[in-house]
Structure 1
């Protein structure tokens, strides 16, 4: 159960957002409903998401794996649920996406670069970021500086999403049956 009502005031912005969300996703997204209690925050968040969606220096598959690894590390079931659905919608392998929460045990399912990207996403997600100079240097060498900056920004954005969704108490909205986040050892 969410910690915040998912029935915000029916402002013009919320009505437009609900219409778009239903048209695009088939339902109104719970994070939008939570943010809807503050129109300025909702508007700024939507603009950020729209702009981030246009970034294209980093391969879309790598970007998605980084986002999923950060969401799994934060243990955001809503993010994992939506992220699984979104990845499949974008043509990524459902079985590979399902392996992300356990990527360290399922290394054979990923390329070396994918493993580096997920390692970076997790290191960046730690409460005190644990990114090493060596990891950053290897990713810059393999991706280039523009893609590295985009990777860093996407992981930071997913940290914002996942941490807000967890704080709001949002859970799976039913986008995927494969959204389970394994318990941490």
Structure 2
């Protein structure tokens, strides 16, 4: 259970209920980070609008490159919710999720292309404390993806750092999106309940 329980449908006002309905239609369940952040509705609206705008604007990088970099951040930072949700998104994109088991060996694994390796290594460098990105690394990325591509990649990696750290701080863990279990309990039944049902890997 998260450190701050999610806002239940019963407690939600009309606008929040509409957001829950939209999320349920899109993902099959209401994401738990949404129900937790809903305690601060203005920030929830700002965050939701931002996520939709980023999604619409991100058309430069191939989906596999972008999604692998984002997944790597979630994995490195230990955000099980992000790993669960990100795996589902990759599956819906038609990407190979079986190779995610080999991501720790991305530098040598034949499951990853050279472009994907560059993006994953950049995600590692950006997510380190302190950041370990080098001039040479950015130069290689610029040569491969262009300036717009590097900006898009950097933005998504930074955004996933924000998501993963938010979820980890509030102990929001995997919800069962990958296993399909998340839709069993889409929103909290009451103020003390949780939206989460554990995935098989959780």
Equivalent residue for 1:93? 96
Q: 1:70 aligns with which of 61, 73, 84?
A: 73
Secondary structure at the residue paired with 1:32?
Answer: helix
Equivalents in 1 of 2:97, 2:33: separation in Å?
23
Equivalents in 1 of 2:40, 2:16: separation in Å?
10
Q: Is the contact between residue 80 and residue 179 of structure 1 (CA under 8 Å) also seen in structure 2?
A: no
Equivalent residue for 1:83? 86
Equivalents in 2 of 1:167, 1:18: separation in Å?
23
Q: TM-score, normalised by structure 2?
A: 0.84
Q: Is the contact between residue 98 and residue 179 of structure 1 (CA under 8 Å) also seen in structure 2?
A: no
Q: TM-score, normalised by structure 1?
A: 0.91
Q: Is the contact between residue 126 and residue 157 of structure 2 (CA under 8 Å) also seen in structure 1?
A: yes
Secondary structure at the residue paired with 2:30?
Answer: coil
Higher deviation after alignment, 28-37 or 2-11: 2-11
Deviations 1:32-72 (CA, angstroms, capped at 9, x unpaired): 00110001110110011001101111111100001001111
Deviations 1:142-182 (CA, angstroms, capped at 9, x unpaired): 1100010000000011001111011110111001258969x
How big is the alpha-carbon RMSD for the aligned residues of Structure 1 and Structure 2? 1.8
Equivalent residue for 1:150? 152
Equivalent residue for 2:27? 25
- Give 1:6 shift: 1.3
- Give 1:98 shift: 3.6
**Which runs of no fewer than 5 residues in structure 1 stay unpaired?**
none
Greater C-alpha Rg: 2
Q: Is the contact between residue 172 and residue 179 of structure 1 (CA under 8 Å) also seen in structure 2?
A: no
Equivalents in 1 of 2:155, 2:82: separation in Å?
17
1:48 equivalenced with 2:50 (yes/no): yes
Q: Is the contact between residue 58 and residue 147 of structure 1 (CA under 8 Å) also seen in structure 2?
A: yes
Equivalents in 2 of 1:173, 1:98: separation in Å?
19
Count of residue correspondences: 180
